[in-house]
Amino acid sequence: MKARRRITRRGFLRGALGAAGTAAVLPYFVPSRALGKDGVVAPSNRVTLGCIGVGDHGTKVNLKSFLGYSDAQVLAVCDVDSRRREAAQAMVNTSYGTDGCAAYTDFREIINRDDIDAVVISTPDHWHALMSVMAARAGKDVFCEKPTLTVQEGRVLSDTMERYGRVFQTASGVRAAAGYHRMCELARNGRLGRLHTLRVVLPSGPHRPGDPAPMPVPDWLDYDLWLGPAPWTPFTRDRLHYHWRWILDYSGGQLTDWGAHLVGIAQWVNDSDDTGPVEVEGKGVFCSEGLYNTAKEYEIHYTYADGTKLIVTSGRPGVQIEGDKGWIGDLGTGLTQLKAKPESLLDEVIRPDEKHVYTCPAGEQRNFLDCVKSRKKCFYPAEAGHRTFTITHIGNISMMLGKRLKWDPVNERFTNDDQANRMLSRAMRSPWCL
């Protein structure tokens, strides 16, 4: 579908100049709302958005959030699933009371629009880096779901955002959560003493092997574009929405999915957003048959250069940070309540003159809009996301090879295994490339 014609600021000015003669005859009236009065944000101060990938999370979380802000305006949506695309278009038009939202199958039509300031990417993981890089090169800021597919893709993504001066938000709301923010500030200000162990528990899964039997491609899906840079393979229902995360061609399972959130919190608390561990050893349980090939259960041990341990296991999700003066975390509470030992840690006050870490209680979408306007870095920028995803990627590699691996976080290479280094990147299906 082609974009509906809309009046841009540039086009409005051209039209206004052409109508200058008429203005001398007819009275000229500009509603105060159009000038940003009466509590309404003027169009010139709104961040214009194009949303790429409008499935469950893409609409119920990202699109819904951005539609709730008066300083954002969604101009277009895109999805290879026509049912989702049309539903998202209707959602935007209903919210604004207009029919001005364009709907596309091919994301490049959004990237090529010069009236869109930023893109919101909520696609499967194997598209994240490629779409983000293409958008940045086209002059757009990027709000992108997590994680990347490989270490190499993450490095290209982060370097590209820096090179082009783009604002990038790794879409994870946990850094806005009050409990995790408090956990971070307590640790950064020495209330736990020297940190020695970071424990992260992530959900298990998949809980079934997946059916690989080929099926006809449904008429509502552009399957070739859904695959994109991933290897060609016959369509099956169990490969598609949500379930793609259990297939290594598109994702890394719960380790990368939830790890992008909670391993990221461990990194934040440990003040290691720009680096990572130096050793990894993991063991995992994989489906013995069927379509799905990511680890469904796992236990991975990492070591940082200063001796701090990061232990990632599958189970009931949560984070616990341990130091020589005590510990704090939410393990066993279902991400709902902090516990600590000694309990007095929960009542500690962080003074104004102590270290304070950057967050935005209103969430990652609000933080992104603020940063697009201020050009400040977001609270979970590309490099921090890349370093977190790298930890999960090398954990997957260690489990698949069944080896203890030495990692160089500066050069982002394994120092003791050439086979493992070959797994840091993957070829993209033609014509796609970074």
Residue 284 belongs to a domain with what CATH number?
A: 3.30.360.10
- Is 271 buried (19+), middle (13-18) or exposed (0-12) by CB count in 10 A? middle
Same domain, 235 and 163: no
User: What's the total number of domains in the chain?
Assistant: 2
Q: Which of 127, 149, 174 is the last residue of a domain?
A: 174
Starting at the earlier edge strand, list the strands of the sheet with 279-286. Answer: 339-341, 326-329, 318-323, 195-202, 309-314, 295-303, 279-286, 404-408, 413-414
Q: What is the pLDDT of residue 16?
A: 31
- Residue 2 belongs to a domain: no
Taking residue 355's Cβ as centre, other Cβ atoms within 10 Å add up to 13
CA–CA distance, 301 with 313 (Å, rounded to integer): 9
Together in a domain, 352 and 241: yes
Q: From residue 101, give the alpha-carbon distance in Å to each of 4, 40, 86, 120, 264.
A: 7, 20, 10, 15, 35
Asked if residues 396 and 256 have their Cβ atoms less than 8 Å apart, the reply is yes
pLDDT at position 41 is 76
Q: Tell me, yes or no, whether 100 and 185 share the same domain.
A: no
Report yes or no on 189 lying in a domain.
yes
Domain containing residue 117: CATH number: 3.40.50.720
Q: Are residues 305 and 165 in the same domain?
A: no
- pLDDT given at position 249: 98
Q: Which domain holds residue 113?
A: 9-174
Residue 125 lies inside a defined structural domain of this protein: yes
Averaged pLDDT, groups of 10, the chain, 434 residues long: 36 32 35 48 88 98 98 98 98 97 98 98 98 98 98 98 98 95 97 98 96 97 98 97 97 98 98 98 94 97 98 97 98 86 96 97 98 98 98 98 98 98 98 96
Quick one: 342 and 206 in the same domain? yes
Taking the C-alpha atoms of residue 60 and residue 64, their distance in angstroms, rounded to an integer, is: 6
Residue 71 belongs to some domain of the structure = yes
Output the six-digit token pair for 117: 């300031």
Domain membership of residue 376 (yes or no) is no
What pLDDT is stored for residue 38 in this prediction?
Answer: 52
CA 324 to chain centre: 33
Of the residues 126, 158, 174, the one at which a domain ends: 174
Is 434 within 8 Å of 428 (Cβ atoms)?
yes
Do 219 and 312 fall into the same domain?
yes
Same domain, yes or no, for 385 and 319?
yes
Q: At what angle do helices 259-269 and 382-401 cross, to 10 degrees?
A: 110
Angle between helices 151-164 and 382-401 (to 10 degrees): 170
What is the rounded CA–CA span in Å between residue 41 and residue 45?
Answer: 6
Domain stops at, among 174, 208, 225:
174
Nearest C-alpha neighbor of 87 from the set 112, 71, 64, 109 = 64
Residues contacting residue 283 through CB under 8 Å, at least 6 positions apart:
298, 299, 300, 399, 402
CA 74-77-78 angle, to 5 degrees, is 155
DSSP labels for 134-147?
HHHHTT-EEEEES-
Predicted pLDDT of residue 9: 31
Sheet of 118-121: strand order equals: 102-104, 72-78, 47-52, 118-121, 141-145, 168-171
Say if residue 180 is in the same domain as residue 329. yes
100 plus 40 within the same structural domain: yes
pLDDT at 1: 39
Q: Residues 304, 162, 75, CA angle at the centre, nearest 5°? A: 120
Are residues 59 and 122 located together in one domain of the fold? yes
Asked if 420 contacts 397 with a C-beta cutoff of 8 angstroms, the reply is yes
Phi-psi map region of 251: left, alpha, beta (phi>0 left; psi -120 to 50 alpha): beta
In a domain, 370, yes or no: no
Residue 372 covered by a domain: no
Q: Find the helix or strand (DSSP H, E) in which 40 lies.
A: none
Strand, helix or coil for residue 75? strand
Instruction: Give burial (CB, 10 Å; 0-12/13-18/19+) of 95.
Output: middle
In a domain, 108, yes or no: yes
195 and 73 fall within a common domain = no
Q: Are 171 and 143 in contact (CB under 8 A)?
A: yes
* CA 403 vs CA 69, 283, 293: distances in Å: 48, 9, 18
- Report pLDDT for 39: 56
Number of helical (H) and strand (E) elements in the chain, helices listed first = 15, 15
d(CA 80, CA 218): 11
pTM (two decimals): 0.90
pLDDT given for residue 31 in this prediction: 43
pLDDT of residue 421: 98
DSSP letter string, 302-370: EE-TTS-EEEEEESS-EEEEEETTEEEE-TTTTSS--EEESGGGGG----TTS------TT-HHHHHHH
Same domain for 94 and 67, yes or no, is yes
DSSP E strand stretches across 175-243 = 195-202
